[in-house]
Amino acid sequence: MALDAKLHDIYDEVLGRNPGEAEFHQAVREVLSSLGPVVQKHPDYVDAAVIRRLCEPERQIIFRVPWIDDSGQVQINRGFRVEFNSALGPYKGGLRFHPSVYLGIVKFLGFEQIFKNSLSGMPIGGGKGGSDFNPKGRSDMEIMRFCQSFMIELHRHIGEYTDVPAGDTGVGQREIGFLFGQYKRVTNRYESGVLTGKGIHWGGSLVRTEATGYGTVFFTEEMLKANKESFDGKRVVVSGSGNVALYAIEKVKQLGGTVVACSDSSGYVVDENGVDFDLLREIKERRRGRISEYAEEKNVPFSSTGSVWDVPCEIALPCATQNEINEEQALTLIKNGCRYVAEGANMPSTPEAIERFREAGIHFAPGKAANAGGVATSALEMQQNASRDTWSFGFTEDRLGQIMRGIHQRCLETADEYGKPDDYVAGANIAGFIKVADAMLALGVV
């Protein structure tokens, strides 16, 4: 989409200041493309350089992470934490451990996090972090040694009133445990609120594991309701089989839909009877196996070529990684009858794919709205930690449902207000932006 004339210089400045960071450029352009009506109505946002300031992180931290593997060899990785915007509260966002991680990925994720956290209605700012460390194939002891070295540097920059990391790709409860243990050791404080995604018996929140997947499905349910439909009898395809995808699959089944395909980095399976959530969880969470094992045990097709988006469906939930749906795959989904797409991952659809969805009248929910359930429940975990309290699964799930319904309503109402009816992308971008922008104006030039 074209940018408003008042925003061209800002985007050009982003490109010049951040060379080679394609994902960050994409994330910024996607938000700026929605803000034309906003700057026309509120020129003070441009005059006070709010948008320009919003595109520049408050702090970017890069550090060396040395550790020793099981064979006694010294390994070196690079760690990152981008503390992007704290106008609404302490920085909040996950840590990603994956070989693809570099500064541009972390900045794109942190930028998206600002608006996602704003939309959640919780008092949290936006940040993100991680490392190019690959936990796959590493022993528990290697992962522990890496996490401890990573936290030796990170602990100086975080705190429950400053910056509260959580998990993301490659960082689950095991890694959070090692990170929190080292934080407690070096600070001599049991500061539960400094990390979220903790184990239930040591400060964690029920539903946190399920939250992002559940939240994506709750948002999709609201989209369906807005069109007088439900999940009943709907064919659903979910990409991925990690934490987000797993619990999206579980919730879709609970609401009456049938997930007919899911994937991992090795390929995808098709199960016309509906993916068996219990077996898939056993393979992925306990055995840490591949999706092909599911196909072998259920005697269903597995493909290591093509795309999971080749499987016909009415609802697509991309829950794997950024830019996983390109223009060609979007056209395939449209041709095969898909009518709803809700992003469970961060920016999984390319700009070209989103444009094709819009042209075809697909109901499309961007990740900053549809996958906000994870960070929302992280904020609920912070509340419990602050009050030394624990909540039941049902109570926390109800809170999550309320938050996702609220996000859906804000997206639709804001899209209507700015002349973009039913445009969830515009609604999410504008609603998330205005709340942060108003806080930045109130706090002065800081």
The residues annotated with a catalytic role in the active site are 128
Q: Output the CA–CA distances (angstroms, integers) from residue 159 to 33, 72, 190, 193, in the order listed.
A: 34, 33, 11, 8
Report the DSSP beta bridge partners of residue 274. Answer: none
User: Is 378 known to sit in a ligand binding site?
Assistant: yes
Residue 410 backbone dihedrals phi, psi, to 5 degrees: -65, -40
Region of residue 20 (phi > 0: left; psi between -120 and 50: alpha; otherwise: beta): left
In angstroms, rounded to a whole number, what is the distance separating the alpha carbons of residues 375 and 335? 34
User: Is 167 known to sit in a ligand binding site?
Assistant: yes
Query: What residue ranges in 118-207 does DSSP mark as E strands?
Result: 125-131, 163-167
In angstroms, rounded to a whole number, what is the distance separating the alpha carbons of residues 105 and 24? 7
> DSSP states of 283-306 as a string?
IIIIS---HHHHHHHHT--EESSS
Of 210, 234, 206, 208, give the one whose Cα is nearest residue 220.
234
> DSSP states of 402-443 as a string?
HHHHHHHHHHHHHHHHTT-TT-HHHHHHHHHHHHHHHHHHHH
Residues 216 and 374 sit within 8 Å (Cβ to Cβ): no
Q: Output the CA–CA distances (angstroms, integers) from residue 67 to 75, 102, 147, 416, in the order listed.
A: 5, 19, 9, 53
SS3 46: helix
User: Is 429 known to sit in a ligand binding site?
Assistant: no
Neighbours of 288 (CB within 10 A): 10
Report the DSSP beta bridge partners of residue 271. Answer: none
User: Is 6 known to sit in a ligand binding site?
Assistant: no
User: Is 92 known to sit in a ligand binding site?
Assistant: yes
The annotation places the binding site for NAD(+) at 212, 243
The annotation places the binding site at 92, 113, 116, 167, 212, 243, 378
The annotation places the binding site for substrate at 92, 113, 116, 167, 378
